[in-house]
Chains A and B, each alone.
Chain A
Amino acid sequence: MTSLFLNSRWPGLALLTVVVMALPAILPNAFYVDVAIRIAILAINGIALNLLMGYTGQISLGHAGFFGLGAYGSAVLTSHFGVPALLALLASAAFTAVIAYGVGRVILRLRGHYLAMATLGLGIIVSIVLTNEAAWTGGPDGMAVDGFTLFGFTPSGERQWYWVFAVLLVGTVVLAQNLIDSPAGRALQALHGSETAAAVAGISVRQRKIAVFVLSATVSAVLGSLTAHYSGYVNPGLAGFLQSVELVIIVVLGGMASIYGSVFGAVIMGVLPQVLAGYEGWDSVAFGVIMAAAMIFLPRGVVPSLTAWLRSPNRRRGEGAAC
């Protein structure tokens, strides 16, 4: 029974939906709603990166760059050119997709550490450009962004924006799960497992890598656009190295190749700093210790380790087989 329960996609989705629906009633004030929104943003970004990293096995250390491109694309187009927000969002997403395609064609030939270095460079270049093109981007200080109007509805305040990101999160989880369970998702996981086997089975390894890279980058760009409108403000830090690393931590800590893992990772990354904020000076130390402990005791990530433990009939192997 347990294994049937754990293998089905519905329990997780039901749990996520209930939590997402219930949260606004529980959260006492706008500050907490904002934390919840930030978690949803991290979770969607984490899922996008997990498709690339956890499932397809292609590391990206510059993924926040794409988020930044989306955010700044919307900011610049709406502020400097008066483009309607939805059009700006689509244009930024298309622009990011083109950039990801061009860059992906070149760097996805690389593997392992070399791909990590190339994507790291990509993220850094984006944040340098955003910092230096001050006439358009406001430089290191960033720039203000107007609200977002779609079909006459302009979300304002944390509680309205919460629903925008909540719907987006649940939608992303469903679509990502659909993809992973489909032949296309199997192809992505196959080239992670063995590129040779995948190629011999007829999977165009390079095209598939580029496709998932573009998909992942575009999701982050759309999310970046909406985040810019929600925050009403963008700065180059959005696209920075620390943001990219945070996304990698979410994927690895929550669990590679686990969609709910990324949601869980985002919850930890969103909540932990708030909880630890009270321990001035020790917060970074505690954060580091918790991260290290999680990786030592749950090496496959929190969610895959726990489901493996629940699945094992005798429940003796705490963290399952460490791969």
Chain B
Amino acid sequence: MLTVANLSKAFGGVLAVQDVSFHIPAGCVYSVIGPNGAGKTTLFNLISGLYTPTSGSIRFEDREIAGMAPERLARRGMSRTFQNLQICRNLSAIENVMVGAHLTLNANMFAGMFRWPGLGRADRACRARAADLMERVGCGAFVRADAAAMPYGALKRLEIARALASDPKILFLDEPAAGLNHTETHEIETLVADLARSGLTVVVVEHDMKLVMNVSGRILVLNYGRKLAEGTPDEIRTNPDVIAAYLGGDDEEE
């Protein structure tokens, strides 16, 4: 589904991502782990078009997409959430989710101004679907809320609902469980597993090892911007390099 080859990104003299290659099969939960500053979010930003790679290739469904603008990638079925939330606080919660469905609606300004026939109905259908999505990700209680009035945990779910609203083929979740408590983390785990079961390819950056090990089909380990290891959870768990660099031998702990 997505193949990254020899991808590098330099910020001035700092090589944030160096010569990273991997392949994400369709319909799988693929996790990217690594210590802080390992280049996980940079990798996400490169794939989702927010950064332009210094070198290397990214192929999505057999098309080269390296350096393509985010709005074009959205059109191709890519969607993501953000570690540092990107919520539109000037909109209501449900409108944030509806923003995610932008490409499914007629968003011409004149169509809007003159209430193009069918536009109102499509928009109401979109609103109903957005409410369903909020319910599905577990923030259904906030359907009538303003985004600015929502707590952190609910906003993380709201981002997932927005990312799902575009009906993506591949979904990137940047630390979906960061800052959440035990129960909430478990709910996110169940949600990610459900999404994968429904056929969606889910790519997760996450620090919570229990979640990663439970939910992932394959795992990529980054360290200092380089690929340290890649494989199934069992392979990663027993990989000596990973244990030395990252897990520190006590992966039972967290």
Contacts and interface: CB of A to CB of B under 8 A. Distances in A.
A215 B166 contact: no
Interface string A166-195: 000000000110110111111101101110
A211 B111 CA distance: 14
Interface stretch (B21-29, B97-105, B214-222, B228-236): B97-105
Do most interface residues of chain A lie in helix, strand or loop, or is the interface mixed? helix
Contact of A189 (B50, B69, B71, B88): B88
Interface stretch (A39-47, A200-208, A226-234): A200-208
A190 B114 contact: no
A186 B165 CA distance: 14
B49 to A, nearest CB: 8
Interface of A: 175-176, 178-179, 181-187, 189-190, 192-194, 196-205, 211-212, 215, 257, 321, 323
Nearest to B105: A183
B102 A323 contact: no
Contacts of B70: 196, 199-200
Contacts of B98: 183, 186
A90 B108 CA distance: 22
Given A200-B48, A201-B74, A203-B71, A215 B109 contact: yes
A184 B126 CA distance: 14
Of A176, A192, A200, most buried by chain B (CB within 10 Å of CB) is A200
B102 A257 contact: no
Contact of B102 (A175, A187, A215): A187
Contacts of B86: 194, 196-197, 200
A277 B92 CA distance: 43
Nearest to A175: B113
B226 interface: no
A200 B82 CA distance: 10
Contacts of A257: 90
B231 to A, nearest CB: 29
Contacts of A321: 148
Given A182-B111, A190-B88, A197-B162, 16 more contacts: A178-B112, A179-B109, A181-B112, A183-B105, A183-B123, A184-B107, A186-B107, A187-B99, A189-B91, A189-B95, A190-B91, A192-B88, A197-B86, A200-B163, A201-B102, A201-B162
Contacts of B48: 200
A205 B71 contact: yes
Interface in B88-138: 88-91, 95-96, 98-100, 102-103, 105-109, 111-115, 119, 123, 126
B91 A202 contact: no
B79 interface: yes
B82 A197 contact: yes
A312 B249 CA distance: 54
A197 B113 contact: no
Nearest to A204: B71
Contacts of A190: 88, 91, 96, 99, 102
Contacts of B106: 183
B80 interface: yes
Contacts, number: 119
B88 A183 contact: no
A165 B158 CA distance: 44
Contacts of A203: 71, 99, 102, 107
A259 to B, nearest CB: 13
Contacts of A175: 113-114
A211 B107 CA distance: 12
Nearest to B89: A193
Contacts of A202: 71, 74-75, 102-103, 166
Nearest to B95: A186
B43 interface: no
A110 B63 CA distance: 32
A218 to B, nearest CB: 12
B170 interface: no
Of A185, A197, A199, A201, most buried by chain B (CB within 10 Å of CB) is A201
17 contacts: A176-B113, A178-B113, A183-B107, A184-B109, A185-B112, A186-B95, A187-B99, A190-B96, A193-B87, A196-B50, A197-B96, A198-B99, A199-B70, A200-B71, A200-B163, A202-B71, A203-B71
Nearest to B146: A321
Contacts of A204: 71
